[in-house]
Structure 1
């Protein structure tokens, strides 16, 4: 078997002049250094150094040694449609020569290995929803398209056509990269869109979600727009999800379809392993929401009781069923399940890792999801604080967050799960302590 091409060779073949050596923190913030092609061999050999505390939520203090981003040549992505000669390479952060356990890409790598140890290869598709906005003369956020005012704009051919230049540019970019863009549509909220690409292995899909968010942000900005993945930017409109389509193979064989009718316990064409995987996700759903819906704003989306279109499309109870978009876990066909609990703020590495951890736990314990339409009986957490409390009580989801800590056993490195929970708890209370305009309207002259 021949050696895969080096990063330098990939740059030469693509005509690359600069590389963004990129990774994300636990919040999903993309961090990078711009490396000239003349220094790419040094990047490959030594990585790119970062002051980890300055990065953000990645488990470091100012006194800590450098975070070193080691490029993964398999993720090399030329993006000449952003800047001629520019490419992205996703990186695995290391500290002192060991994979840093707070790095989301390293966490997902660990879960993919756990799946491999159990005999499976995970495959993932992702639906990236977002809004295209601008600021009005008064400074308010409004849809970038002034004519996007229909009461029910979803799938409106005229809305897609008015945004043709942006949508076509993103579609062409995805297809140039070989991602297989197969649909671009106007979603349920004014100014909301979705652009789909083919599924791939878990790590590749997570990388592509991060890359697509970057492309959408910078290419929209080039047209004077703001692309936002905020879960619920407007009170009365539908929010943005990050729905994940999950499946497993073992060798060359699909795992989820039933081998015969005697194996299909619920009549949806699934195998016993697939039903157990669904059950695992349902059993850990409350804790999973801390990584699938990881912001204060997330719970404005799942808690919505009404929207302009009449539906929120965001499940607030962990139930499952067939081709039913009101369910937390939807079964579109016998080859995959759709996890609908995630939103646009989800870090794709953590969201996918969490889904794998929960599903594999269900497989390990031969869990039963119950009849279609049912679930564990609890509602999903109503706030980020409740989700954090559920996370801390769930050893499977906390174990997922700590999954990359193996090489640091015995070192003075805090638990990633504890760090993440504290991070999110502080986020909640920072919001909670901020006096809002709602409070002025409600209380200013009420007493």
Structure 2
């Protein structure tokens, strides 16, 4: 198996045949992060590569199209070719950039991230990103409730539990072997803070590669869990009393081989350059609007709004603060080479989350913004933004932030389209009568 292919002038068909691939899963995601694909036989690889594979964009979901619009044409990125024989022998995933009338479609998340990376490149910089993918393994019961796939996994504080990891050995080992076979560098697999919750880590890479890998890993996790009779879910808060699921990003800027974050920061004590502090300040300044992308669902705010969990902690920041090696902050600085953005959750679209976070940081760099001194453990400054309480609050913050509203392909209309869709999502949920309302109001007066 190979994770990356030196494509040169080799065709997609040649790459597929060299890797014993018989079918290609030509994949892109819509703005909610749903993977959309066609199964393409290797005999039709040339048609895919030549731009003959069309999708009805409106049917794909939130991606800026109406039923009357021209097809989205999936243009494969050959460098993303990923054989997945551990799912099906002879199958490979290849990530595609949707085009319309020969031009990259500006609503497509992968296109949006590539545009953001070009803006960085115009400033002589590149971004490297690591991602921490958390998820739950659950079963859906006959009455519609959820239970952990491992019935013995019921401790209120199961984090790092060796027994829980061992009981899920076959699943975790299969995912680890898949990642390492692809060259991703899986280095840890652990039981997370909630019963039924796990995290599997892989090495950082350039921003686009990491976003592609998050999408591919979610797909691998879903399919391999299903093959073992389980459901892998990235839902931010599937259980009221348990810690929710995060998607944390480790961000750094580079100029060629030179890391731009290390520097002499005097008495601030984190060993960061002024550029790094400006980058942090940009993210903190735009934090409320960013949450529309980092925490993009109604359920996201059940996680970030929680005050405690069965383990005693939520691991979800409430304020836009930064500090050292302290997991209570929105931005944690574990060392002087990177910053960890901790307010994202499992429902985040990695392309949109990374793109908007990088452009928020770049805005801080452009304005030489300064976040001041880092906050102490568990502290935040009085002037720090409070993160939005609901998806509707995040949407309102997005609409008031011209930098983030314009961060999707440089077009505020695309940001407005996304905001409108997320407001509609919130109102659709809000219009449903819940069991809580029946219990609270049925005989209250």
Instruction: Name stretches of at least 5 consecutive residues in structure 2 with no aligned partner.
Output: 1-5
1:148/1:159 contact within 8 Å kept: yes
Residue of structure 1 equivalent to 2:121:
116
1:53/1:59 contact within 8 Å kept: yes
Residue of structure 2 equivalent to 1:445:
443
Residue of structure 2 equivalent to 1:164:
169
Aligned positions of 1:31-70 closer than 5 A: 31-70=36-75
- Aligned: 1:272 with 2:247: no
Deviations for 1:24-66, whole angstroms, at most 9, x for unmatched residues? 0000010000000000011101242001110000010001111
Distance 1:398 1:138 in 2: 41
Report the CA distance between 1:395 and its aligned residue. Answer: 1.2
Instruction: Return the match for 1:431 from 429, 432, 442.
Output: 429
2:76/2:95 contact within 8 Å kept: yes
Distance 2:324 2:251 in 1: 15
Distance 2:80 2:52 in 1: 15
Report the CA distance between 1:371 and its aligned residue. Answer: 1.2
Distance 2:342 2:443 in 1: 41
Q: Secondary structure at the match of 1:249?
A: strand
Instruction: Return the match for 2:407 from 385, 400, 407.
Output: 400
Distance 2:413 2:26 in 1: 27
Distance 2:103 2:443 in 1: 59
Instruction: Name stretches of at least 5 consecutive residues in structure 1 with no aligned partner.
Output: 406-413
Residue of structure 2 equivalent to 1:380:
387
Instruction: Return the match for 1:316 from 304, 315, 318.
Output: 318
Distance 1:170 1:133 in 2: 17
Residue of structure 2 equivalent to 1:176:
181
- What root-mean-square deviation, in Å, do the aligned CA atoms of Structure 1 and Structure 2 show? 1.3
Report the CA distance between 1:265 and its aligned residue. Answer: 5.5
Report the CA distance between 1:6 and its aligned residue. Answer: 2.7
Report the CA distance between 1:2 and its aligned residue. Answer: 8.6
Aligned positions of 1:293-442 closer than 5 A: 293-373=295-375, 374=380, 376-403=383-410, 415-442=413-440
- Aligned: 1:231 with 2:236: yes
Distance 2:64 2:140 in 1: 35
Distance 1:15 1:113 in 2: 34
Deviations for 1:297-352, whole angstroms, at most 9, x for unmatched residues? 00000000110000000001000000000000000000100000100000000000
2:116/2:409 contact within 8 Å kept: no
Q: Secondary structure at the match of 1:415?
A: helix
1:264/1:272 contact within 8 Å kept: no
Structure 1 runs of 4+ off > 6 angstroms? Answer: none
Count of aligned pairs between the two proteins? 435
Cα distance change, pair 384–127 in 1 and its aligned pair in 2 (3 A): same
1:264/1:271 contact within 8 Å kept: no
Cα distance change, pair 294–157 in 1 and its aligned pair in 2 (3 A): same
- TM superposition score normalised by structure 2: 0.96
- Aligned: 1:151 with 2:179: no
Report the CA distance between 1:139 and its aligned residue. Answer: 4.0
Distance 2:340 2:284 in 1: 12
- Aligned: 1:257 with 2:258: no
Cα distance change, pair 4–327 in 1 and its aligned pair in 2 (3 A): farther
Q: Secondary structure at the match of 2:190?
A: strand
Report the CA distance between 1:296 and its aligned residue. Answer: 0.3
2:115/2:409 contact within 8 Å kept: no
Deviations for 1:272-292, whole angstroms, at most 9, x for unmatched residues? 100110111000000000000
1:402/1:415 contact within 8 Å kept: no
Residue of structure 2 equivalent to 1:408:
none
Residue of structure 1 equivalent to 2:134:
129
Cα distance change, pair 196–120 in 1 and its aligned pair in 2 (3 A): same
Residue of structure 1 equivalent to 2:3:
none
Deviations for 1:206-242, whole angstroms, at most 9, x for unmatched residues? 0000000000001100000000000000100000000
Residue of structure 2 equivalent to 1:195:
200
Cα distance change, pair 273–264 in 1 and its aligned pair in 2 (3 A): farther
Distance 1:93 1:327 in 2: 36
